Amino acid sequence: MLDGLEDAGVNTAYLNTVEAPSGVARITTGAGGENNIVVMPGANGDLTPKLLERRASVLKNAGFPLAQPEVPLETVEYLAAFADRHDIRLMLDPAPARKLSTDLLQRVTWITPNETEMQELLATQLENADQGSYTAADRLLARGVKNVVLKLGSRGCVIAERNLPKERVLAFSVNAVDTTAAGDAFNAGFAVGLMRGTTVKRSAVFASAVAAISVTRNGAQPSMPTSAEVKAFLRKRLGAEASLVAVETTN
């Protein structure tokens, strides 16, 4: 696992190890590429707030931390409070689906649920497809969330920013073989776009391209595309408009 990260160019200098097995996800994939995942947290359960405290100097320089409650919820809450205190943008993917406190939601810059996770957050079923998505986003904003990207799978995503009109970004049409980690790919692409100063909508287009490529490949980490691959994909799909999306990309 460590070799895989290093081969991808990830800085692993601050990676911690503990006396526990690594987390494992058992994934089944349907004929249409949809997946069901059962997670055994393993070492993820040992990521405590104290470990984050030890890396405070690193976290203060973070460009855009991404978190999800596959680690202890108290650790996510600590990170959210830390990010809020130091004016650091934080993205939260509320997976696995569970109820989250209003205090946590108000400290997150962007929350990126899919439809199942949104239903759990709101304790209600989404009705009437797209219109229901807009209503759900409004309800989440009303709880104090700053910004929402509701991921709709093959139907794209809905962007909801407080006091701004909602925007819909369509997904790219591809032949999906495995949707595992598509949401993670989208989150990463969206954060990259925003960090590079691209508009929210163009960042979502870039993120959609990252996710689209990922679902054409099997697996999670092995399905993640490079920036060069995303750039080529956007050029093929958008032509001249590709230069407007996520500005320049680098490997």
Q: What percent of the chain has pLDDT over 90?
A: 67
Q: What pLDDT, in 10s, does the model give residues 88-97? A: 999 999 988 8
Count how many residues are written for the chain: 251
Active-site annotation holder among 7, 87, 103, 184: 184
Maximum C-alpha span of the chain: 52
DSSP E strand boundaries for 137-201 = 147-151, 157-161, 167-169
pLDDT score for 132: 81
Q: In the annotation, is 184 catalytic? A: yes
pLDDT score for 130: 64
Task: Give me 138's structure tokens.
Answer: 């409004």
Average pLDDT, the chain: 89
The residues pairing with 151 across neighbouring beta strands, listed in sequence order, are 114, 157
Domain boundaries, the chain: 45-244
Question: In the predicted model, is pLDDT for residue 65 greater than 90?
Answer: yes
Question: In the predicted model, is pLDDT for residue 29 greater than 80?
Answer: no
pLDDT score for 251: 33
Domain spanning 45-244: which CATH class is it, in words?
A: alpha beta
Q: What pLDDT, in 10s, does the model give residues 108-135? A: 999 999 998 999 999 887 776 667 888 9
CA 151/CA 121 separation, integer angstroms: 14
